[in-house]
Amino acid sequence: MIMKMSFPPTMERLLDSTFNIDTSDGLSLLVHHWKPQKQATGVVLLIHGHGEHGGRYDRLANTLNRHSIELYVPDLRGHGSSGGRRGDFPRYMEFMNDISTMISVISNRHPGIPLFLYGHSMGGNLALNYTLRHSTPAAGVIITSPLLRLVNEPPRWKRTIARLMMRIWPSLPMKSGISSAGLSRDPAIVAAYDADKLVHAKVTPRFLEVTDAGRWAIENAGNLKLPLLLMHGDADRITSHSASREFAERTGENCTLRIWKGLFHELHNEPEKDEVVSTIIDWITKA
């Protein structure tokens, strides 16, 4: 049984620290790091969504810290304060290489402490693909609202044009077209997102590699070897909760699926965030 925990907002803490790591192709990635006051019993590496950055996870970090869970959230390449053109990446596999680097750095910092890979939205796409394609020392994987399919898939003619542009101008900057109103039912979260100067709405034709990888993950879900907590809101306007169901159905006993009725895209920023995060903490504790 999952215990419902209360997380008073007055106990929020500031960001503990940041540091930089270098990628295999020479970019510098900023890593946000929150350390609990007590010895950590678990460590989480969180891969954030498209257009955002690691600094948006301070409230989640505060709650995890109070339960002796340490959190690292790197700004992905092309995001936040990390290197790279906004919203662009050379190839999808560069994200995979970056995650390998992150896991190596964090594992070396915490020998003997269970490491959990956590991916949200596009980060969920990346984390699932990494887990399916690579051997990892992670004790388990937590995925929320993964970009396996979009709720509003572009018509075939748009995808055809995008694939053509990926060949002739793969770094062409475009608007993502994602509305911030679909992130959370909490208007304060949406307002803060809109005012955040490190948030961007840029995308390039190369983003097709991400959506292709989402379909690949569903098709290969049966190869999952690690315990997985997969959660999605059934009112998500951005990424498809039906795709998460399909992924879970293909994984077998390794996956714990939780569909949250009425919740939007950012489960950890919804009014029900206390119950959402307590579910994550309970799963980590029992993993």
Tell me the pLDDT band of 7, cut-offs 50, 70 and 90: very low
Q: What percent of the chain is modeled with pLDDT above 70? A: 93
The one-letter amino acid at 177: G
Question: What does the pLDDT average to over 13-26?
Answer: 83
Angle at 210 (CA atoms; ends 238, 199), nearest 5 degrees? 60
Stated pTM of the model: 0.91
pLDDT recorded at residue 15: 54
CATH superfamily of 9-286: Alpha/Beta hydrolase fold, catalytic domain (3.40.50.1820)
Report CA Rg, the chain. 18
CB atoms within 10 A of CB 87: 21
| Residues 53-80: b if buried by 16+ CB within 10 A, e if exposed | bbbbbbbbbbbbbbbebbbbbbbbbbbb
Cα–Cα distance for residue pair 153/239, rounded to 1 Å: 10
Which tens digits make up the pLDDT trace of 22-60?
Answer: 999 999 999 999 999 999 999 999 999 999 999 999 999
pLDDT recorded at residue 206: 87
Residue spans per domain, the chain: 9-286
